[in-house]
Amino acid sequence: MTELGPVAWPPAPIRTERLVLREPEARDRAAVIELLASPEVGTYIGGPRPRDELERAMPAVPSGRPGLFVVALDGAMIGQITLTRESGHLRQAAGKAELGYLFLPQAWGYGYAAEACAAALDWFAGALPGEPVVLATRTANLRSMRLAAKLGFVEAERFEAYGAEQWFGMWSSAMPSD
Ligand SMILES: CC(C)(COP(=O)(O)OP(=O)(O)OC[C@H]1O[C@@H](n2cnc3c(N)ncnc32)[C@H](O)[C@@H]1OP(=O)(O)O)[C@@H](O)C(=O)NCCC(=O)NCCS
């Protein structure tokens, strides 16, 4: 299950100071393949996918789904954010809206992920007021840990899964954040 619930999808593109959050477009195809095939991006999330397989399988317009935002800088995709309800992967996240983020390595270190995720959470808080969002990340993924803290996620639990320590955080629009 990946539906967000009673939320109209897609929303109008979301504009931040530097970025636009929007649906996937044909011009994103190469960047989506780059993102999923990148060893750096895949380090803490199960590794990269084979590029030739992605080239074969990826449609001309990368498919969207409710809760998936392409993050664009000057029109070009630099990353993706998901706000989805996953049922399968972790007991702690079952049935809850979960934030995910993947950015191209050349876009790391500029605060783009933080800017885009804050806007996505803001949109979520407006669409489903008071509903919490969860986030799971490996504790070894220091960039992700810093981002989660910056966004106002609060530690709920740490546990072992997929052979590594995982951090599980919760966010709610009712909680204060920086
Ligand atoms: C996790 C991930 C999105 C974090 O990206 P990021 O660019 O480090 O995150 P932020 O947007 O918060 O940027 C923070 C950095 O931008 C810098 N920065 C530069 N200009 C900035 C600005 N105007 N505003 C804010 N920060 C700025 C900060 O100093 C910080 O740099 P530092 O980490 O070197 O101290 C990225 O590393 C990634 O895609 N990783 C692979 C996928 C992944 O593991 N996802 C998590 C799955 S659970």
Mean pLDDT by 10 residues, the chain (178 residues): 74 98 98 98 96 97 96 98 84 89 98 98 95 96 98 96 93 72
pLDDT at site 93: 81
Q: What is the pLDDT of residue 175?
A: 62
147 Cα to the center of ligand 1, angstroms: 6
pLDDT of residue 47: 95
Q: Is 108 in the pocket of ligand 1 (CB under 6 A)?
A: yes
pLDDT score of 49: 97
DSSP 89: S
The pTM assigned to this predicted structure is 0.95
Containing H/E element for 158? Answer: strand 154-161
pLDDT of res. 177: 53
SS3 content of the chain, % helix, strand, coil (to 5): 30, 30, 40
- Tell me the best of 45, 81, 103, 143 to mutate to test the pocket of ligand 1, counting ligand atoms within 8 Å of each CB and taking the most: 143
Rounded to whole angstroms, the Cα distance separating 104 from 137 reads: 17
Helices vs strands, H then E, count in the chain: 5, 8
pLDDT value of position 91: 80
